[in-house]
């Protein structure tokens, strides 16, 4: 058989020919709603490749982006990778110090930024490479005064034609770069290739075909600036689905209005975002018109959230993955033979982290590195392997030593069980585990029960030091507005699912939970805040 290289540019050119009616609809930073077809997107992407060539971008150069979800960001994804350079997406929610580290470590040559981020980059400029050039992603009319000597995105496009022949690249050519948020130590970069990206796009499009189909409207709330928006910029055009991009407006009301206006069928994002949308759904007493599917991942989807969607007729797909896995590893749509399972059983399965995509291998091992049975009972450290999994961090051999076993499998840092029929269940991130008297307690399981209790809007369970047991669980709760959660009621409910020694020793009420740069509850920050916490029996 022939051996043709898998190339990212082919996806968009294919979409332009085969799905010409597919669109990218974008809520712009400029304030309006913009729409363009995949045909127009492909043409503008070729223009952009010409512009990048004129700006001196060469094979392998890193081009940074600091931008929301929108069509220009998608154009950068394709133009930069397609011409043989590396599209380096940067998470603007990281600290200034981390941002400077990342841009310097990646040695970005150009930085494309949305209007929103101009002041931030101006303040950071002294710490960025002196020869870095800047392009602001807007038109001439909206160009702000700036101290970056920045070029204007639409202007550099206007100067070029849309005739460009994508080079034939080897499929192992680097195409994208994304740094993990690095809650400990410096952020670490995952360098994707054309091959890994195209294979991932095909696997996502195939596994989530119920949402990704011609004419279907998909809302990626998951950002293009982190974890490749779960592969949607590739999987949606490949399948002919339309992308509806929320730009900077991620609150419940804005999402509701955008979804309703565009008749979005499937929306993808982390649980925090869906809390906002569900609050809006409750306030308006209805769903956005056309909404029928939600993909939840990035951190555990609480069962109460899954039920809130499902009882309103929205199918929930609970997915798991990580930056180092391109990122999607599993998806939780139930297989056909379970479609008729009793509702309670269905919810129980949907609260698990789903089943693997084709091409992803999973194994769990004990502390000694011995592989454990996938019987749904043994919990172990989760390792992965596959064509869409990193083989080593970008220029960081020291980090590699900590995460690969001798057979080349990658340690995810998650603790999990795997059922005989392939359902993955995460019990914790290894660094969030609670170890009490030598026994592990799953914070995710405890949180799931607490979330379903009256008056609880959000919660987290963390370990606090204990003189006798080493660590004990502390429940931290955000109450529903004006309500007071009752710890005894919560403990009672937990008592039905857990042994007594596993229940939290105390509850603290807070106004809000701290979030990481990727919108997850920051347990690290919580552990620091409650480091000196005195539990009732030790006070
Ligand atoms: P970071 O947030 O640290 O930058 P990632 O976005 O790559 O990194 O997050 C990957 C991690 O997120 C996984 O290792 C896992 O701990 C967590 N995660 C992702 N999806 C889920 C899920 N559905 N349930 C529980 N945890 C999840």
Q: What is the tally of structural domains in the chain? A: 3
Give CA–CA dist 241/245, Å, rounded: 13
Ligand 1 atom at minimum distance from 323 CA: 7
Dihedral angle sign, alpha carbons of residues 116, 181, 229, 451: negative
Does residue 96 carry a pLDDT above 90?
yes
Ligand 1 atom at minimum distance from 182 CA: 3
Q: Which of 185, 352, 414, 444 to mutate to test the pocket of ligand 1 (most atoms within 8 A of CB)?
A: 414
DSSP string, 286-322: SPPTT--EEEE-SSPPPHHHHHHHHTTT-EEEE-EE-
Residue 192 DSSP code: E
Q: Which two tokens stand for residue 325?
A: 């896995």
Compute, in angstroms, the gap from residue 518 CA to the centroid of ligand 1: 9
- 110 close to ligand 1 (CB < 6 Angstrom): no
- Domain that includes residue 455, residue range: 433-529
**487: confidence class by pLDDT, cuts 50, 70, 90:** very high
Does residue 29 carry a pLDDT above 90?
yes
Please identify which of the residues 320, 324, 356, 412 carries the catalytic annotation. 324
In the block, tokens 């996806």 appear at 11
Rounded to the nearest integer, the mean pLDDT of the chain is 96
Domain end position, chosen among 155, 177, 193: 193
pTM of the model: 0.95
Give percent above pLDDT 90 in the chain. Answer: 94
Does residue 325 sit within a domain? Answer: no
Same structural domain for residues 413 and 441? no
Ligand 1 atom at minimum distance from 324 CA: 7
**438: confidence class by pLDDT, cuts 50, 70, 90:** confident
Residue 148 DSSP code: S
Q: What is the CATH number of the domain that holds 481?
A: 3.30.300.30
Give CA–CA dist 47/156, Å, rounded: 9
Domain end position, chosen among 178, 193, 208: 193
Per-residue pLDDT tens digits for 285-322 = 999 999 999 999 999 999 999 999 999 999 999 999 99
Per-residue pLDDT tens digits for 31-61 = 999 999 999 999 999 999 999 999 999 999 9
Residue with CA nearest ligand 1 atom 3: 181
pLDDT of residue 539: 65
- 298 close to ligand 1 (CB < 6 Angstrom): yes
Catalogue the long-range contacts made by 131-137 (C-beta closer than 8 Å, 24 or more residues apart).
132/103, 132/108, 133/55, 133/109, 134/110, 135/110, 135/111, 136/112, 137/67, 137/70, 137/72, 137/73, 137/112, 137/113
Same structural domain for residues 414 and 514? no
Same structural domain for residues 442 and 419? no
Residue 92 DSSP code: T
Domain end position, chosen among 409, 429, 449: 429
Dihedral angle sign, alpha carbons of residues 346, 350, 355, 357: positive
Confirm whether 440 is a catalytic residue.
yes
Does residue 250 carry a pLDDT above 90?
yes
Does residue 440 carry a pLDDT above 90?
no
- Which region among 111-125, 141-155, 260-274, 516-530 has the lowest average model confidence (pLDDT)? 516-530
Q: How far is CA 512 from CA 70, 269, 379, 408, 478, in A?
A: 29, 20, 31, 40, 6
Does residue 462 sit within a domain? Answer: yes
Per-residue pLDDT tens digits for 156-207 = 999 999 999 999 999 999 999 999 976 667 899 999 999 999 999 999 999 9
Same structural domain for residues 424 and 443? no
Residue with CA nearest ligand 1 atom 21: 299
Same structural domain for residues 419 and 437? no
Does residue 271 carry a pLDDT above 80?
yes
Does residue 42 sit within a domain? Answer: yes
Same structural domain for residues 444 and 413? no
Give CA–CA dist 279/291, Å, rounded: 15
- 248 close to ligand 1 (CB < 6 Angstrom): no
Give CA–CA dist 345/351, Å, rounded: 10
Per-residue pLDDT tens digits for 364-421 = 999 899 999 999 999 999 999 999 999 999 999 999 988 999 999 999 999 999 999 9
Does residue 335 sit within a domain? Answer: no
Instruction: Read off the pLDDT of each residue in 9-22 and give the average, rounded to a whole number.
Output: 98
Same structural domain for residues 437 and 493? yes
| Cα 517 from chain centre | 11
- 178 close to ligand 1 (CB < 6 Angstrom): no
Confirm whether 435 is a catalytic residue.
yes
Is residue 12 within 8 Å of 42, Cβ to Cβ? yes
Same structural domain for residues 408 and 442? no
Same structural domain for residues 364 and 494? no
Q: Which two tokens stand for residue 387?
A: 């064509």
Compute, in angstroms, the gap from residue 298 CA to the centroid of ligand 1: 4
Same structural domain for residues 163 and 118? yes
**426: confidence class by pLDDT, cuts 50, 70, 90:** very high
pLDDT of residue 270: 95
Residue with CA nearest ligand 1 atom 9: 322
Does residue 75 sit within a domain? Answer: yes
At residue 461, the 3 state secondary structure works out as: strand
pLDDT of residue 538: 76
Ligand 1 atom at minimum distance from 327 CA: 7
Q: What is the CATH number of the domain that holds 12?
A: 3.40.50.12780
In the block, tokens 């952009």 appear at 48
- Which region among 3-12, 371-380, 437-446 has the lowest average model confidence (pLDDT)? 437-446
Does residue 480 carry a pLDDT above 80?
yes
Does residue 52 sit within a domain? Answer: yes
Q: What is the CATH number of the domain that holds 390?
A: 2.30.38.10
Same structural domain for residues 498 and 361? no
Give CA–CA dist 276/335, Å, rounded: 29
Axis crossing angle, helix 232-239 with helix 71-82, rounded to the nearest 10:
90
In the block, tokens 């609260």 appear at 351
Confirm whether 320 is a catalytic residue.
no
Ligand 1 atom at minimum distance from 330 CA: 23
Compute, in angstroms, the gap from residue 413 CA to the centroid of ligand 1: 9
Please identify which of the residues 435, 483, 484, 534 carries the catalytic annotation. 435
In the block, tokens 């970069």 appear at 189
Give percent above pLDDT 70 in the chain. Answer: 99
At residue 511, the 3 state secondary structure works out as: coil
Same structural domain for residues 171 and 115? yes
Q: Which of 183, 303, 322 to mutate to test the pocket of ligand 1 (most atoms within 8 A of CB)?
A: 322
Does residue 459 sit within a domain? Answer: yes
Does residue 272 sit within a domain? Answer: no
- 412 close to ligand 1 (CB < 6 Angstrom): yes
Instruction: Read off the pLDDT of each residue in 354-367 and give the average, rounded to a whole number.
Output: 97
pLDDT of residue 181: 74
């Amino acid at each position: 058989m022939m051996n043709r290289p898998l190339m990212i540019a082919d996806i968009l050119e294919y979409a332009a020919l085969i799905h010409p009616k597919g669109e990218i609809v974008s809520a712009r930073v400029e304030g309006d709603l913009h729409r363009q077809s995949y045909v127009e997107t492909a043409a503008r992407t070729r223009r952009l490749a010409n512009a990048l060539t004129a700006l001196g971008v060469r094979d392998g150069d890193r081009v940074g982006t600091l931008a929301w979800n929108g069509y220009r960001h998608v154009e950068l994804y394709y133009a930069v990778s397609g011409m043989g350079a590396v599209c380096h997406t940067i998470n603007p929610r990281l600290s200034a110090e981390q941002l400077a580290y990342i841009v310097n470590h990646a040695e970005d040559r150009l930085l494309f930024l949305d209007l929103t981020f101009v002041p931030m980059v101006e303040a950071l400029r002294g710490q960025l490479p002196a020869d870095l050039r800047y392009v602001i992603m807007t038109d001439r009319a909206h160009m702000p005064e700036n101290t970056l000597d920045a070029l204007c995105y639409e202007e550099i496009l206007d100067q070029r034609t849309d005739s460009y022949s994508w080079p034939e690249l080897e499929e192992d050519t680097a195409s994208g770069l994304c740094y993990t948020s690095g809650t400990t130590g410096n952020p670490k970069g995952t360098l994707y290739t054309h091959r890994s990206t195209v294979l991932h796009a095909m696997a996502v499009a195939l596994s989530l075909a119920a949402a990704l189909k011609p004419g279907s409207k998909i809302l990626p709330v998951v950002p293009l600036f982190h974890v490749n928006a779960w592969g949607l910029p590739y999987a949606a055009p490949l399948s002919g689905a339309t992308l509806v991009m929320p730009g900077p407006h991620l609150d419940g009301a804005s999402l509701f209005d955008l979804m309703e206006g565009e008749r979005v069928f499937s929306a993808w994002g982390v649980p925090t975002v869906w809390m906002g949308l569900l609050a809006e759904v409750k306030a308006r007493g209805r769903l956005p018109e056309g909404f029928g599917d939600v993909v939840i991942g990035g951190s555990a989807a609480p069962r109460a959230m899954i039920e809130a969607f499902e009882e309103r007729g929205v199918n929930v797909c609970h997915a798991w993955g990580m930056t180092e896995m391109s990122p999607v590893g599993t998806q939780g749509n139930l297989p056909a033979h379970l479609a008729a399972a009793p509702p309670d059983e269905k919810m129980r399965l949907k609260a698990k982290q789903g089943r693997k995509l084709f091409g992803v291998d999973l194994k769990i091992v004990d502390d000694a590195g011995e592989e454990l049975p996938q019987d749904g009972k043994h919990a172990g450290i989760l390792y992965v392997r596959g064509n869409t999994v990193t083989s080593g961090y970008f220029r960081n051999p020291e980090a590699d030593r900590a995460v690969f076993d001798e057979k080349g499998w990658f340690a995810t840092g998650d603790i999990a069980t795997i059922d005989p029929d392939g359902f993955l269940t995460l019990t914790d991130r290894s660094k969030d585990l609670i170890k009490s008297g030598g026994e592990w307690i799953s914070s995710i399981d405890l949180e799931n029960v607490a979330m379903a209790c009256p008056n609880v809007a959000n919660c987290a369970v963390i370990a606090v030091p204990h003189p006798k047991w080493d660590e004990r669980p502390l429940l931290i709760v955000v109450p529903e507005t004006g309500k007071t959660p009752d710890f005894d009621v919560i403990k009672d409910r937990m008592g039905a699912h857990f042994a007594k020694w596993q229940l939290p020793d105390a509850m603290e009420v807070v106004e809000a939970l701290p979030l990481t740069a990727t919108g997850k509850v920051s347990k690290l920050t919580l552990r620091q805040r409650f480091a000196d916490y005195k539990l009732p029996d030790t006070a």
